[in-house]
Amino acid sequence: MNIGFVVCIILAVLFLIVGILFSLLKEKGAYFVSGFRTLNHPEKYDKAYISRDIRNQCFIYFVILSIGAILSYFLSVYIAIAAILVWLIVFFRNFNLDAEKAFEKYLIH
């Protein structure tokens, strides 16, 4: 059994489910984003945009990991490792520890 395939497919399915949930929840999905409830004035932020952005990120993660799973199943386990590394790079590119800084692009002007 190809462990890289299994890891990629499990992560891909999880991100697909989360992406679908954010699609269905629309504006209400923003309340499930880490750090949103800690903001001083959450009403100043575009909740629909936050939810769409998280949805799109989850679908991008799904595509990256699905391609990694398919290619690792047919070619080599090392492709799964590369896919996970690409996913980690994309994931941490959008990562912020400061909630105010993380949500500043969602401010309503």
Q: What is the DSSP string of 43-84?
A: GGB-HHHHHHHHHHHHHHHHHHHHHHHHHHHHT-HHHHHHHH
Which pTM does this prediction carry? 0.89
Does residue 99 carry a pLDDT above 90? no
Q: Is 108 helix (H, G, I), strand (E, B) or coil?
A: coil
CA-CA distance, 103 to 109, in Å (whole number)?
Answer: 13
CA-CA distance, 92 to 97, in Å (whole number)?
Answer: 11
Question: Domain spans of the chain?
Answer: 3-106
The pLDDT tens digits of the residues spanning 57-93 come to 999 999 999 999 999 999 998 999 999 999 999 999 9
